[in-house]
Structure 1
């Protein structure tokens, strides 16, 4: 397929590009600038900005066989709804896929429930407050002949990036690992390359009107994740909890709430129905012996 990819320059977009190519697909990157970006491996490059829906007119040409929308939300529900309209309209009646990237934060805290699935009701925290409405706008396109699909990644890690990289950097700069919220907070996680494989599976095989959780490990204790981030940073002290007020001062209140969110989310449906096979190391192993270790080269182990 020839796949139009928004967010192609980003952390997840780079991995998705690699895995689309490995599966034999072509990637047309939508970028804000026409300036060439050597080494990206794209087959073509189009100019458009998902913060400006009008700029997307004509982006989905007749030879585009699929669209993966990875670009982050603008923060304006009307703008993001208009982006979905611009991307979906040329696909109507074709049966071609439109894959939208959401996230598990739309579920809110999962409480005592273990490994909630895609049928769980949404209860979004403020940082993703309107995103369920965008999900529904995407899924509604199934009635218009679009193979509309929503993917909700967990906390993405691997290739030295994602939120775990923040924990490594904080451990290095503060001299001690830290975590946020209550001691029992858990994060659903997914390796970025496993997630990229899920996007390929969604483009190739997911049915219209479906939602998929991109989760490799359903509930990783964040205190243990912080401990592993400390090891990656060369810091051996025990992790400590950061008070909510201090977290908000450092990261802002919206992101602070997300970091303190306790969730247990299942990614089993995609394994069964899409034959998705996440096989990369878990986040703890990745932090301790994988792509985050170079961060420790210029640090010393604390007493």
Structure 2
């Protein structure tokens, strides 16, 4: 398949591109300027805020589109981007896979939520559920539209756990927001990349899939592992919310303190997804060299 990937140079995007190539698919990268990539790499040049460039990128030879870009923060711009990317897919049955995230569910309590649970988005992702619905609505127009909601992504030294290692180095101890009982649904970036391949090749139109390999990782244990990865002894302490908000911004601090337990079993059962990379605490304890 020939797959157009937006956000291909980012943390998740780089892993996704590698997995598509490993499965024998051809990746066409959508980039703002082609000078960032190696000579000869197939690209389409444009901008997420330029619908005309998005429409022009989805040519008839493109078999699927994967949108991994970070939302702009402007709902109208992101909605227009969805419309532009799906316009030329209409009636073709070709796949459009859009990236959202588990923060749209809000706080979950102790019962693992699946994809049928209602959304209750926190401020940092406030309008994302409406974008999800805009994507899924294209299914009735003959687009094989799929929404993937990754958990907190780790691996390769990146993601929020990578930030936590940096915070532990800075403060001399691991830090977490909320209570020691706070949990995060998590997934290794390479396992998540495999899910995107499956979403493109196997998922039904109108699917919502949680990219979650570990339903609820205790954040206090994660902070302790981050301290160990930073060269410490595995200590962790609460990060007062007002201090965290000052350091990283109130919306992000709220997200970091969110207690969630989320199931990713739908992808396992329906698509045969098999997450196999090391558990996050194991990986961080080894220096996060995954």
TM-score normalised by the chain length of structure 2: 0.97
Unmatched segments (≥5 aa) in structure 2: none
Quote the residue 2:188 is aligned against: 191
Does residue 1:60 correspond to 2:58, yes or no? yes
Q: CA deviation at 1:50?
A: 1.0
Partner of 1:223: 220
Contact 1:16–1:199 (CA<8 Å) still a contact in 2? Answer: yes
Secondary structure of 1:35's aligned partner: helix
C-alpha separation between the residues in 2 aligned to 1:292 and 1:56? Answer: 36
Q: 2:239 aligns with which of 237, 242, 246?
A: 242
Superposition deviation, residue 51 in structure 1: 2.9
Does residue 214 of structure 1 match 2:211?
Answer: yes
**Alignment deviations for residues 235-288 of structure 1 (CA, whole Å, 9 cap, x no partner):** 115200011100100000000000000000000110000000000011101111
Whether 2:83 is the aligned partner of 1:117: answer no
**Structure 2 residue 27 is matched with structure 1 residue 27:** yes
Give 4+ residue runs of structure 1 displaced > 2 Å after superposition: 51-55, 290-293
Q: Alpha-carbon deviations, 1:68-122, whole Å to 9, x = none?
A: 000010001110000000100000000000000000000000013x211000000
| Residues 26 and 43, structure 1, Cα contact 8 Å, conserved in 2 | no
Q: Secondary structure at the match of 1:178?
A: strand
1:12 aligns with 12
* 1:38 corresponds to 2:35: no
Matched, 1:138 2:135: yes
Q: Is contact 1:4–1:28 with CA below 8 Å preserved after alignment?
A: yes
Which residue of structure 1 aligns with residue 276 of structure 2?
279
Q: How many angstroms apart in 1 are the aligned matches of 2:47 and 2:77?
A: 11
2:89 counterpart residue number: 91
Partner Cα distance (2:234, 2:208) in 1: 41
CA RMSD of aligned residues (A): 1.3
TM-score w.r.t. length of structure 1: 0.93
Aligned counterparts of 1:276 and 1:290: Cα–Cα separation in 2 = 27
Q: Give structure 1 stretches of 5+ with no counterpart.
A: 294-303
